[in-house]
Amino acid sequence: MAFETIIVEIEDHVALIKLNRPDALNALNQTLTRELMQALEEADANDKVRCIVLTGSEKAFAAGADIKEMASMSFAEVNTANLFAALGDGIQQIRKPVIAAVSGYALGGGCELAMACDFIIASDTAKFGQPEINLGVIAGIGGSQRLTRAVGKAKSMDMNLTGRFMDAEEAERAGLVSRVVPAKKLMEEALGAAQKIAEKSLLTARTAKEAVNRSFESTLAEGLLFERRVFHSLFATEDQKEGMAAFIEKRQPQFRDK
Ligand code: CAA
């Protein structure tokens, strides 16, 4: 299906979702958030897709929620629409791995969208920030929560209170992004990582994602117990037998997601 604000391409088991509102630096308006959730859910349900890459343009991953759309909204309107709840909560329900490939600005809701993905690969031009305070509001899709978990209180407070931007080098140092690559190489690197994930057992990849995410929702003891139980449960899969047999027989595994 054709979308108005995003472009979706599926190739070699990877769904590439590109935010496409160049005139607004990919600001997240309600159409874009609705279309993005639809595309993510469709990719999650599509048997041909094994990994998802979310990206923007060279200049902006996304410059935040659409300020022009929000500016005149009242508390009642924002509250009734439950603004951004569908995106913030919905993206967590996507079970396939999602990589954010970030170039240029990832600000406000853009930074939050990238952080809601499973990991971020950044170009050396990337700039992350939660500048909502300059607009008289605060972050609304996880900028006070996911950023704090990613980079710790000091940097999160700094960014949420001063609104300053973090460049790619600082973001990598702080643990916000997993890799930084030259801008020209960003898509090659992100699609390469997605390809690597697509070669694994999807059953196992989903389980790994679930286990890592569990660490944000539980005590260490509960998380370790969860991990051990799902580790044990994977021995009920054909892919565990295949993966270990392939290692012993010195060949590539042929996973069947079973
Ligand atoms: N919403 C709506 N339009 C936006 C936008 C946004 N978040 N960010 C940029 N645009 C628009 C600009 O208004 C401009 O449109 P016009 O040409 O029609 O004037 C166009 O995109 C290009 O932007 P600039 O001319 O400003 O580009 P620049 O290179 O000079 O600056 C920038 C780039 C530093 C990213 C600057 O655009 C900027 O500061 N944007 C806003 C960033 C921001 O405050 N984000 C937080 C939004 S609130 C939020 O996200 C809440 C939440 O957590 C849910």
**pLDDT tens digit at each of 258 positions of the chain:** 689 999 999 999 999 999 999 999 999 999 999 999 999 999 999 999 999 999 999 999 999 999 999 999 999 999 999 989 988 889 989 999 999 999 999 999 999 999 999 999 999 999 999 999 999 999 999 999 999 999 999 999 999 999 999 999 999 999 999 999 999 999 999 999 999 999 999 999 999 999 999 999 999 999 999 999 999 999 999 999 999 999 999 999 999 999
| H helix or E strand, kind and range, residue 213 | helix 202-214
Q: Which domain holds residue 229?
A: 201-249
CB 164 within 8 A of CB 111: no
Question: The domain spanning residue 69 has which CATH number?
Answer: 3.90.226.10
Q: Are residues 141 and 208 in the same domain?
A: no
Q: Which residues are near ligand 1 (CB < 6 Å)?
A: 24-25, 27, 63-68, 84, 105, 107-109, 112, 131-132, 135, 139-141, 143
Q: Are residues 87 and 173 in the same domain?
A: yes
Does the interface predicted TM-score (ipTM) exceed 0.85? yes
Q: Are residues 120 and 212 in the same domain?
A: no
204 vs 111, 192, 237, CA distance in Å? 28, 19, 9
Angle subtended at Cα 90 by Cα 120 and Cα 186, rounded to the nearest 5 degrees: 20
Q: Are residues 224 and 100 in the same domain?
A: no
- CA dist 224 and 22 (Å) reads 44
Question: The domain spanning residue 236 has which CATH number?
Answer: 1.10.12.10
Residues identified as active-site: 65, 109, 112, 132
Q: Are residues 205 and 194 in the same domain?
A: no
Q: Are residues 92 and 138 in the same domain?
A: yes
CA of 63 to the centre of ligand 1 (A): 5
- CA dist 232 and 128 (Å) reads 39
Which residue, of 198, 219, 237, is where some domain finishes? 198
Atom of ligand 1 nearest to the CA of 107: 45
Residue bearing the CA closest to ligand 1, atom 36:
63
CA of 110 to the centre of ligand 1 (A): 11
Crossing angle of the two packed helices 220-233 and 202-214, in degrees rounded to 10: 170
Residue bearing the CA closest to ligand 1, atom 39:
63
255 assigned to some structural domain: no
Please give the model's pTM, rounded to 2 decimal places.
0.97
217 assigned to some structural domain: yes
Q: Are residues 171 and 205 in the same domain?
A: no
Q: Are residues 107 and 174 in the same domain?
A: yes
Q: Which of 232, 213, 214 shows the shortest CA–CA distance to 223? A: 214
Q: Are residues 223 and 194 in the same domain?
A: no
Structural domains of the chain, count: 2
Q: Are strands 165-167 and 127-129 parallel, antiparallel or unpaired?
A: antiparallel
